[in-house]
Chain A
Amino acid sequence: MSKQVEIASILPRESAAVSAWDLFVQLDRITHRFGSRTVFEGVTEAAQEGEILVVSGANGSGKSTLLRIIAGLLTPTSGRAIVSAAGTELNGAQRRRLIGYVAPDLVLYRELTGAENLQFFAELHGVRADRAMLVDLLTRVGLRGRGRDAVGGYSSGMRQRLKYAFALLHDPPILLLDEPTANLDTNGVAIVEEIVKAQQMRPGGGLTIVATNEPRELEWSARRVHLGPGA
């Protein structure tokens, strides 16, 4: 399927002729408060396809909140998080189709197996999830042979791997990763690094935004937003 056709299905008709995603995320003076507590104030940054943007800051500085705002899950108190493709700002439904999201508070259904979870979410995304596709995906995240096990029986590391399969199901050009290597062993960390590298190298360009404090992950990009004191 050509990129033009994919974009045509997501963007307004007048934008359908563009040949690449032309992704752009712009954080425009974003401030967020929970009650009277200001989490962060005036965050301004931009990132485009092929780039990795690292969001760092102490615990409680609002890294996860900022990722939720970018994903369209949360409305900031003031300012805007503009996610655009081919010069067109994406609405909620379009963001759902173009964004893959991994976070500690993302939970999949414990009562279903790994494969059943992926099949269910694939159906929601309009992706044809045949057996070969699921095997590919599970192999990619290091869960080959565990697809028929109930997620309730997975270890925390296996659940983190399954979250990556969930995020990659619809082949999204934008990845939002909150604490991307939490609970993962050395092999799992290597898988995540491979996913991030593949995302950066994907044809048409992918965009990755990472919220972390891990020194190794901070090195993934020089493009950073630091939240909290000294920001």
Chain B
Amino acid sequence: MIRGAVQPDAAGWASQARALFLKDVRAELRTRVALSSVGLFTFAALLLIALATRVLKETLTVDLARLPEAVTSEQIRAHMLPAWDDPGKMGLLWVLLIFSAFAGLAHSFVHEEEAGTTLALRLSMAPGAVYAGKLCFNLAVVLCVAAIATPAYVLITGLHTGPIAEFLVLMIAGCLGLGAVATIVAALAAKARGTGGLFGALGLPLLIVFELMLLNAANTLYGGDVTPLQSIKDFGGLISYSVLLIAVSAVTFHFVWEE
């Protein structure tokens, strides 16, 4: 008889999720499948942005519609604005983060499905715990990418972060939403034996809503005359969407997971 019989309090949902998260971290550190694809994409994108925006970030522009008929050079100078403003820079930062994250997160479920290890997981753990473990791993990846890429991006582009507390809330809430979208979409794609194309198609509706929420919250940072109530509404909308998506995904995940 083998020692170590089933304990009366067999592994609960949380400890199963924790074990899966730690297993994914260990496997990732060993194979570096997600790390290499995310790292390569992020580095290449930052390099391109640095080279392409060297001139753009110093460039000023003027809105001709705002100028009087007869105009002097002083009047033109007075109406000059940066050609590449902070909302635009913020938008490009999230383009970078979304694509970097998706480049790595596609591996989370697709890798399990392709390697054939989902059967062993299905024999050993509750569907909700699988979702929670994968979500934690994906959030960790997104947060790591954001923590490394954002400071580099701010240095390269000269992005003004606005109030630092609000900027941090935006980044963390954005990462939460991005992790939530990517996790459920990766699960759907893996189940459909998906490729990158399918991954994108399945994720589009969820991602569009996330992006709209993110855009609203990002505009709050640079809006100028935004009221505190509007700020709370915009940040709250982003966080609520992320939490709602996680809750709905957790409840419905077994339909995706089970055959």
Could you list which residues of chain A lie within 8 angstroms of chain B, going by C-beta atoms?
1, 5-6, 8-9, 68, 71, 73-75, 92-93, 96-97, 99, 101, 103, 105-112, 116, 120-130, 132-133, 136-137, 140, 166, 168-171, 202
A111-B123 contact given A126-B9, A136-B3, CB 8 Å threshold: no
Chain B residues with CB under 8 A of A107: 115-117, 119-120
- Residue on A nearest B29 in the bound complex, by CB: A111
Chain B residues with CB under 8 A of A120: 19, 23
B206 contacts chain A at the CB level, 8 A cutoff = no
Contact of B4 among A6, A110, A116, A129 (CB under 8 A): A129
Q: For chain B residues 114-131, which have a beta carbon within 8 Å of chain A?
A: 115-117, 119-120, 122-126
Q: Are B8 and A9 in contact (CB under 8 A)?
A: yes
Q: How far is the CA of A181 from the CA of B211 in the complex (A)?
A: 53
A132-B3 contact given A109-B117, A111-B31, A112-B27, CB 8 Å threshold: yes
Q: Are A124 and B116 in contact (CB under 8 A)?
A: no
Chain A residues with CB under 8 A of B117: 107-109
Least CB distance from B248 to A in Å reads 21
Q: Which of B10-18, B134-142, B180-188, B194-202 contacts A (4 or more CB under 8 A)?
A: B10-18
* Seed contacts A9-B6, A99-B123, A132-B3; 19 additional CB < 8 Å A-B pairs: A6-B8, A9-B8, A71-B123, A73-B122, A73-B258, A73-B259, A75-B259, A93-B126, A96-B125, A96-B126, A106-B120, A108-B117, A109-B117, A123-B15, A125-B10, A126-B7, A126-B10, A127-B6, A133-B3
Q: How far is the CA of A93 from the CA of B254 in the complex (A)?
A: 13
Q: How far is the CA of A103 from the CA of B123 in the complex (A)?
A: 12
Q: Which 10 A-B pairs have the closest CB atoms?
A: A126-B10, A126-B11, A107-B116, A9-B8, A123-B19, A124-B124, A133-B4, A124-B125, A133-B3, A111-B27
Chain B interfacial residues counted at CB < 8 A: 33
- Mask: chain B, 63-105; 1 = CB below 8 Å from A; 0 = not: 0000000000000000000000000000000000000000000
Q: How far is the CA of A137 from the CA of B5 in the complex (A)?
A: 12
Q: Are B123 and A73 in contact (CB under 8 A)?
A: yes
Chain A residues with CB under 8 A of B30: 111-112
Q: Are A5 and B2 in contact (CB under 8 A)?
A: no
Q: Are A109 and B119 in contact (CB under 8 A)?
A: no
Between-chain CB contacts (< 8 Å), 18 pairs: A6-B8, A73-B123, A105-B119, A106-B116, A107-B115, A122-B4, A124-B19, A125-B6, A125-B11, A127-B6, A128-B4, A129-B4, A132-B3, A133-B3, A136-B2, A136-B3, A137-B2, A166-B120
Q: How far is the CA of A125 from the CA of B15 in the complex (A)?
A: 10
Q: Are A123 and B123 in contact (CB under 8 A)?
A: no
Q: How far is the CA of A101 from the CA of B121 in the complex (A)?
A: 12
A125-B124 contact given A9-B9, A112-B23, A140-B2, CB 8 Å threshold: yes
Q: How far is the CA of A8 from the CA of B126 in the complex (A)?
A: 20
Least CB distance from B238 to A in Å reads 34
Q: Are B120 and A9 in contact (CB under 8 A)?
A: no
- Residue on A nearest B28 in the bound complex, by CB: A111
Least CB distance from A208 to B in Å reads 16
Least CB distance from A134 to B in Å reads 9
- Residue on B nearest A198 in the bound complex, by CB: B1
Q: Are A124 and B16 in contact (CB under 8 A)?
A: yes
B26 contacts chain A at the CB level, 8 A cutoff = yes
Least CB distance from B114 to A in Å reads 10
Q: How far is the CA of A6 from the CA of B7 in the complex (A)?
A: 7
- Residue on A nearest B30 in the bound complex, by CB: A111
Chain A residues with CB under 8 A of B122: 73
Chain A residues with CB under 8 A of B16: 123-124
Least CB distance from A8 to B in Å reads 7
Least CB distance from A30 to B in Å reads 15
Q: How far is the CA of A183 from the CA of B12 in the complex (A)?
A: 35
Q: Are A112 and B26 in contact (CB under 8 A)?
A: yes
